Amino acid sequence: MTGPRLRGRRAATTVMGLALTAVLAAGCGAAATLPDSAATRRIEGGTITYAHYQEPPCLWGGWVQQAYLSRQVFDSLVSYDHGEIRPWLATAWKQSADRKAVTFTLRRDVRFTDGTPLDADAVVDNVNFWLENLGWVDYSFLTGADAVDEYTVTLHTSEPNPEIFNELANGHFGIQSPTALREHTAEQNCLTPVGTGPWIVGQWKRGEGIDFVRNDDYNSAPANARHQGPAYAERLEWKFVPDATTRWGSLLTGQADTVYDIPSSQWATANRDYQVLNYVATGRPQALTFNTAQGPFTDRRLRQAFTHAVDRVKIAGAVFKGSVPFEGNGSLSKTTPGYLPVDDALPYDPAAADRLLDAAGWTERDSAGYRMRDGKVLEARLPYGLGSIITPDGSTAVQIVQDQVRRVGIKLDLIPLTPTQQFGGAHAKQHEKEISFGYWVWPSPSILYITYKAGTAAAPNGNNTAFFDNPEVEAKILDAQREPEPAERTRKYAELQVWFQNEAVAVGLYNYTYNLTVADNLKDVWQDSGNGLPVFSDAYFVEPS
């Protein structure tokens, strides 16, 4: 099965004449028409075609776009299931009294697809690999691992970490073959890594997509999977299609069975005619983060004024049309453990913005209406990763922000960055920007430590885009991390979120959201509840009964 069977009323809409890319046309069959009768009978085998947004440099790594892919090939020690931890490669676990070690009991019947057995030494090798190759692994507080016996392994952390299980469940911490890590080249492990998971990398055609083939020996699905055993489909064709309109068109014409992130203008239609999966990412949302170390926003009044000048609720609603929710909290997203709703803080109030700007001494105006003080224009630069961190809809949102702050006299210079510029560190230094815009995916309130830890001159924290440096507040973040009582830990994190919001160090605009639209004849596609990663190994095609 290479494409969905469209209902008659949807098939008629394909006369849109969309220019679909060759990458989607390759390997896709013609779509048939599915009558409006119930589709219940499962079809064995077939090929699932999925149209995704971004192509990462490697299948494994620290970017969430890589975790999407890793989830297809690797299994993890545990699975995160809506707040509960479920067995996966590990069948049992226990924490030490000081909460700085977790001992896992492993399954005894799992092999990597190269024949290497899964054992404690394999997990130790993977932990060492993460420590060496994941730049942010320190934020999980992992320090190492020891094999207790052949199928028992202990992971060590420098701090107590109540969310260590959530973190280990995500795609970044999938378990790879130690043989491949040791004997394959870095390029091989980048393009065709070896796991125990439901899919095996067949071929990666750069600029087009990745062909996955079924692991016929798969026997290690997590306990919360929809079924145990090999995937129902024989192949998974993962296409990279940067344009949302083209992705949507591929679903309409049957060239894709499921697609990522459709145009917001089609959101109502998708919810009417298709299956829609919607997941708000853990961590921090798409937030405006102010440079607190240099420039005008070292003054809290200006940060607050900027925020009051922006109708963030209206922007999110108008731009995303319900597909992506507004989020006012600039530090934690609503799916993150310990999240506190602070949407009512710093509401849209241009009059309050004017008062704060006046009080801060920015009372003069130039000929264009921008505020000035001591002959200097109130100007801010906002570089953002267009096509990597920010979608075209997100770009529209920041353009509206630019227009709204102009009305109170703030000149905002938008600087769109290509993916090469973004990941090459362009406009990342303290003197190169006054505002940052982006998200960070992480299933723990310790995201506060990731994004607000000061770092040092020798080892700067590139995730701290506020250039925030307050030892007292940083100590409070670590104190919350170490707190053994869950209720008290939640209270401490809530207090921190209120402080950061009132200080307007970072303010949310909208949630980073994973949306999947799925054809009616493809059933049981789901998203894991740790990172919202798509799972296709339980999916199957149906035809009318």
The helix or strand, by DSSP H or E, that contains position 422, with its residue range, turns out to be helix 419-423
pLDDT surpasses 80 at 222: yes
Q: What is the CA radius of gyration of the chain?
A: 24
Tell me the Ramachandran region of residue 503: left when phi exceeds 0, alpha when psi lies from -120 to 50, beta otherwise: alpha
Per-residue pLDDT at 18 exceeds 80: no
Task: Write the DSSP string, 25-47.
Answer: HTT-PPPPEEPSS-EEEEEPS-E
Cβ proximity of 66 and 171 under 8 Å: yes
Per-residue pLDDT at 26 exceeds 70 = no
Total-model pTM: 0.88
pLDDT over threshold 70, residue 23: no
- Distance in angstroms (rounded) separating the CA atoms of residues 435 and 508: 13
| φ/ψ of residue 6, rounded to 5 | -80, 145
Average pLDDT over residues 199-223: 97
The residues, any chain, with a CB within 8 Å of residue 238's CB and separated by 6 or more, are 50, 52, 69, 72, 209, 210, 211, 212
Single-letter code of the amino acid located at 47: T
- Residue 209, helix vs strand vs coil: strand
pLDDT tens readout for residues 382-415: 999 998 889 999 999 999 999 999 999 999 999 9
Kindly indicate the confidence band of residue 40, based on its pLDDT and cuts at 50, 70 and 90: confident
Q: Where are the alpha helices (DSSP H) in 210-362?
A: 244-252, 267-273, 300-308, 312-320, 350-359
One-character DSSP codes across 479-498: HHHH--SHHHHHHHHHHHHH
* SS3 category, 62: coil
The mean pLDDT of 286-297, rounded to a whole number, is: 98
Q: Is 414 helix (H, G, I), strand (E, B) or coil?
A: strand
Report how far residue 60's alpha carbon sits from residue 172's, in angstroms, rounded to the nearest whole number: 7
The whole-number pLDDT of residue 545 equals 53
225: nearest Cα among 542, 540, 543, 537: 537
Reported as a single tens digit per residue, the pLDDT across 268-291 is 999 999 999 999 999 999 999 999
Residue 7 scores a pLDDT above 70 = no
Rounded distance, CA 543 to CA 64, Å? 34
Phi, psi at residue 413, to the nearest 5°?
-100, 115
Cα gap 64→333, rounded to integer Å: 15
Q: What is the mean pLDDT of residues 314-327?
A: 96
Residue 544: its pLDDT value, please?
67
User: Do 31 and 520 touch, CB atoms closer than 8 A?
Assistant: no
User: In this structure, are residues 283 and 443 in contact, taking their beta carbons and an 8 Å threshold?
Assistant: yes
